[in-house]
Amino acid sequence: MLTTPSACAIVWCPDFGERQEWWTRMPDSKTYTGGCHCGQVRFECTTDLAMVTACNCSICTKKGLHFTFLDPKSFQLRAGEENLKEYLFNKHAIHHQLCVDCGVDVFARGKKPDGSDVVALNVSCIDGIELSKLNMTPVDGRSM
C-alpha cells in the first residue's frame, strides 16, 4: 500500500481492489469536459462519478480538492499540456498537474497499489458540475 499523509489519491487507492468491478464497468458513465479557471488546460473524461472524495488531508483541505479516480484510458488531455506544472510533495507519489497561468490543480497522476497507472481528476474542474449534488466519500487523509 502506498502511503503519503497528505495525499488523498493514494489514501483511497487501497480500495481499488475492492471496487475494481464497478470501476471497470462504469454502468452509468458519461463523458465530461472541463479544465482550469483560465481555460488554457482542457480535458475530456468518461466516468460515472460513483466515488468522489471529501478528504481532510492538508492539500485537499487547503485547495478544496475533490477527486474521482480514472483509468488513464478514460482521460484525455485536450489542450494545455505546455501550461502544466507538476507539483510533488511528501513521498512524491502523486504528480499533481497545475495550470501555470491560473494555478488550478486540474488532475494528478499516480499508481494504484498493484502498480498500474491511475488519474485522479479534480471533479471541481468538470464543466457545469454541481458539487452539492454529488455523493461524497469521506476520506480521513489527515490521520494517514
Look-up: residue for cell 482521460?
Answer: 75
Range of the domain at 46: 8-21+32-138
Give the chain's domain count: 1
Cα gap 50→68, rounded to integer Å: 8
Q: Is residue 38 part of a domain?
A: yes
- Please name which of 35, 19, 39 lies closest in space to residue 27, comparing C-alpha atoms: 19
> The domain spanning residue 124 has which CATH number?
2.170.150.70
Q: Is residue 127 part of a domain?
A: yes
Q: Is residue 125 part of a domain?
A: yes
Q: Is residue 98 part of a domain?
A: yes
Q: Is residue 51 part of a domain?
A: yes
Phi-psi region of 2 (alpha: psi -120 to 50; beta: other; left: phi over 0): beta
* Predicted confidence pLDDT, tens digits, the chain (144 residues): 233 333 333 333 333 333 333 344 445 899 999 999 999 999 999 999 999 999 999 999 999 999 999 999 999 999 999 999 999 988 888 899 999 999 999 999 999 889 999 999 999 999 999 999 999 999 998 887
pLDDT at 27: 59
Q: Is residue 117 part of a domain?
A: yes
pLDDT at 124: 97
The DSSP 8-state label assigned to residue 75 in this structure reads: E
Q: Spell out a b/e string for 122-135, using b for 16 or more CB atoms within 10 Å of the CB, else e.
A: bbbbbeebeeeebe
